[in-house]
């Protein structure tokens, strides 16, 4: 796990590897997940979103969510933002 914080200790982004199902939690900001390896499910409230390497998933503020690896390693870069994301990879 690698975490980058700003000068006030606020997390800007993280690099995480999930080997087992995570726990439900929420954030006050958007959590933008980019899958760098593997396949998994991101549960957002009552919705299950299957993602794989090269895909984004955007989790709105206040939504309960957690990650479930389906193919190891399930590796994500998480970027946090205050506004609705408009991110694309070309």
> For the chain, which residues make up each domain, given as ranges?
2-81
Would you state the structure tokens that stand for residue 4, as one six-digit string?
């980058």
The CATH fold of domain 2-81: Jelly Rolls (2.60.120)
- Residue 55's CB is within 10 A of a number of other CB atoms, namely 13
- Residue 28's CB is within 10 A of a number of other CB atoms, namely 8
Instruction: Give the model's pLDDT for residue 86.
Output: 66
Q: Return the higher-pLDDT residue of 82 and 49.
A: 49
pLDDT in tens, 9-66: 989 999 999 999 999 999 999 999 999 999 999 999 999 999 999 999 999 999 999 9
């Amino acid at each position: 796990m690698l975490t980058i914080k700003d000068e006030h200790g606020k997390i800007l982004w993280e690099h995480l590897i999930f080997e087992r199902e995570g726990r439900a939690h929420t954030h006050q900001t958007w959590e933008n997940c980019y899958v760098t390896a593997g396949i998994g499910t991101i549960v957002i409230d009552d919705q299950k979103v299957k993602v794989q390497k090269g895909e984004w998933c955007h989790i709105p503020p206040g939504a309960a969510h957690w990650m479930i690896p389906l193919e190891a390693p399930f590796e994500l870069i998480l970027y946090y933002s205050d506004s609705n994301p408009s991110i694309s990879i070309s």
